Amino acid sequence: MPAPKAFATAILLSLLAAAVPAKAQTPLPPEGIQIGLSTDNVSITAGFSGADLTIFGSLENPDPLVARQGRYDVIVVLEGPPRPVVVRRKDRVLGVWVNLDSETFENVPMSYSVATTRPLQDITEPNSYKQLSLGASNLYMQPADAGDSPATIEEFTAALRDRKSATGLYSENVGGVQFLSQNLFRATVRLAPNVPVGTHKARAFLFKSGLFIKESSAQLEIRKSGFEQSIFRVAHDYSFLYGVFAISLAMITGWLGRLVFRKD
């Protein structure tokens, strides 16, 4: 009968399939990210009014399907050198504004410029930013005196962030990261006119469908040039002599001004 024969053939084929080992799937290489700077130092002069810094980068082993669906996001940060910062609160006393309270924070990034592919709230969850200390609002400001009340520390921390944002030192450029292809991207971060000199750190964070994947970093040196650099070096290397010179110059200028504008 044909039916039993077909049934026996099906069983034989299934036994042969079970006997042949399944081909092992090669795991995909892990995804990564790399960034590069066109220069490792930037020179600024007294007439510097701010600029945009371009950072190029690439994704390593991106999934073509994920890339086509636009589910890769990149956040690039240019973080200035960390230094102590004192925040003071002024109050009006007898009609005069005086400094009453202050809070000192240690290792505060003097500048913090962010560029993103999309708004931060559309990339990942707030807890991810807190864990990565990513974004100006998630930077941990370490107080010098940990014994102060949490409410006081929070108040001065918010004031510090607001002051940095008002002066342009903390900025955010939504859409500042653009993909040039499935694996190449370009980021534009802003340098404020009062950007601090020193070693800055560029960091790139890769997210896939809202999940953090990898981070890469590079360093950038920002320094003064020309006559301003000479004054800056003297002021730091010979601070006492520079102070004496500055006071003497102010006294001489005042004396000359008195001679010029005195009324006989």
In a domain, 19, yes or no: no
Question: Average of pLDDT values for 214-220?
Answer: 93
Share of the chain above pLDDT 90, in %: 48
- 141 pLDDT exceeds 70? yes
Whether 135 and 182 map to the same domain: the answer is yes
Range of the domain at 123: 28-224
Cα–Cα distance measured from residue 179 to residue 74, given in angstroms and rounded to the nearest whole number? 9
> pLDDT category, 264, cuts 50, 70, 90?
low
Statement to judge: residues 201 and 248 lie in one domain: no
* Whether residues 205 and 236 fall in one domain: no
Q: Exposure string (b/e) for 199-215, b if CB count within 10 Å is 16 or more?
A: ebebbbbbbbeeebbbb
Tokens of 39: 């220069």
Same domain for 84 and 175: yes
Which residues 6+ apart lie within 8 Å of 118 measured at CB?
73, 174, 175
- Tell me the pLDDT of the chain averaged across its residues: 82
Inform me whether the pLDDT recorded for 261 exceeds 80.
no
- The answer to whether residues 49 and 99 belong to one domain is yes
Is residue 4 scored above 60 in pLDDT? no
Model confidence at 97: pLDDT above 70: no
147 with 241, same domain? Answer: no
Average pLDDT of span 215-236: 72
Question: Is 22 contained in some domain?
Answer: no
Both 219 and 230 in one domain: the answer is no
The reported pLDDT for the residue numbered 146 is 78
The structure tokens listed for 154 are 């929070």
- Of the candidates 28, 57, 71, 29, which has an alpha carbon nearest to the alpha carbon of residue 215? 57
Q: How many domains does the chain have?
A: 2
Q: Same domain for 239 and 209?
A: no
Q: Which of 71-75, 148-152, 203-207, 247-251 has the lowest mean pLDDT?
A: 247-251
Strands 96-109 and 142-143: antiparallel
Average pLDDT on 201-210 reads: 96
**Collapsing DSSP states into helix, strand and coil, what is residue 144?**
coil
Q: Are residues 234 and 124 in the same domain?
A: no
Amino acid at 145: D
Gap between the Cα atoms of 190 and 71, Å rounded: 25
Q: At residue 128, does pLDDT exceed 80?
A: yes
Inside any domain, residue 73: yes
93 shares a domain with 132: yes
Rounded to whole angstroms, the Cα distance separating 128 from 44 reads 35
For range 197-221, the mean pLDDT: 94
Q: Is the pLDDT of residue 215 over 60?
A: yes
pLDDT-derived band at 14 (thresholds 50, 70, 90) equals: low
Q: What is the pLDDT of residue 179?
A: 95
Residues 86 and 197 in one domain: yes
Flag whether 234 is in a domain. yes
Residue 4 in any domain: the answer is no
Same-domain status, 215 and 244: no
pLDDT at position 178 is 95
